[in-house]
Structure 1
Amino acid sequence: MNNTQDLPWDNPRFRNWVSVARACHAVERALGAALQPLDLKPAQLDVLMNLHRHPGMSQHELARRLLVGRSNITMLLPQLESRGLLRREGDEKDRRVLRLTLTEAGEALLQEALKVHTALIEKVMAAFSPSECDLVGEHMRRIVEVLKID
């Protein structure tokens, strides 16, 4: 960048995008702190939530939904499995595929974690009117669409 170009933080789009990124980071940190009493990290909560909503999904499908590499999932799953929160079972049609399901303990922990997560969301979104809340969601969905993320 040379001296004749505008600095990126002078651009409202850049400045506002940094605000979005900082807000996301702040929520992630707050969620991490709030989940500590449950001995759960936000990434682990994402796994539990997805397996609750889509029981029997494969590790590959889970990685794609969470927008992470399969190696990340491969590291997370043994931790959750050793705690008795999920099961990995072979697929009947393709032995290379492992299907993932929550255990009763996983479901119970998820219910507790969802109370924590919901309380944090309510705290953050209470700063907005219902129409502003809808607008925030609409803008975030548009970002996902522009980036073509599932």
Structure 2
Amino acid sequence: MNENQAFPWDHPRFRSWIGVARACQLMQQAMTRAIADLGIKTPHLDILINLYRFDGISQQELARKLLVGRSNMSMLLPQLEKRGLIVRRPDTKDKRILRLSLTEAGRKLTMEAMAIQTGMIEKIMSQTPADRCLQVAEAMEDIIRILQTMETETDAGD
């Protein structure tokens, strides 16, 4: 980089990107503290919420939704199963596939954690007008689509 080039942090798009990344990181830290008394961490919460929404999802589908590898799932799921929060059952048609569901205790804990998460989001986002929140959501959805398209194109090129 020479002295005539602008620094990346001087560009509005870079500043916006860093702002989003920092907000995500700070929210992650705040959520970690907020749910600590429940005995779970944010990766556990991501799993529990997805099982709440998509009962019977396969381990592979869950890993894909959470953008994590199967090795991460292999470490986290036994912890939740051991605590009696989830159950893994063979698929009725293909015994190689394991289907995941919340237990009653898992459902209860997930609802408690979601209430904490929703409360935090409401507290933070209520200070921003709804139309601006929607603008941010739409911009992030655009970015997600672009990144997914880039990933698909990269996969097709391999």
Q: TM-score range by the shorter chain?
A: over 0.9
Query: Which amino acid counterpart does residue 102 of structure 1 have in structure 2?
Result: L
1:126 corresponding residue in structure 2: 126
1:13 corresponding residue in structure 2: 13
In the alignment, the residues of structure 2 paired with residue 39 and residue 141 of structure 1 have an alpha-carbon distance, to the nearest angstrom, of 32
Matched, 1:138 2:138: yes
Query: Which amino acid counterpart does residue 60 of structure 1 have in structure 2?
Result: Q
Partner deviation per Cα, 1:115-138 (whole Å, 9 max, x = no partner): 100111001101111211211211
5 Å matches for 1:37-52? 37-52=37-52
In the alignment, the residues of structure 2 paired with residue 112 and residue 91 of structure 1 have an alpha-carbon distance, to the nearest angstrom, of 29
Partner deviation per Cα, 1:54-105 (whole Å, 9 max, x = no partner): 1111110000000111111111100000000000011121121111000000
Query: Which amino acid counterpart does residue 102 of structure 2 have in structure 1?
Result: L
Identical residues among aligned pairs (%): 52
Query: Which amino acid counterpart does residue 35 of structure 1 have in structure 2?
Result: I
SS at 1:21 equivalent:
helix
In the alignment, the residues of structure 1 paired with residue 2 and residue 88 of structure 2 have an alpha-carbon distance, to the nearest angstrom, of 54
Partner deviation per Cα, 1:21-43 (whole Å, 9 max, x = no partner): 00010111101110011111111
| TM-score when normalising by structure 1 | 0.94
Deviation at 1:146? 1.2
2:33 corresponding residue in structure 1: 33
Structure 1 outlier segments of 4+, above 6 Å: none
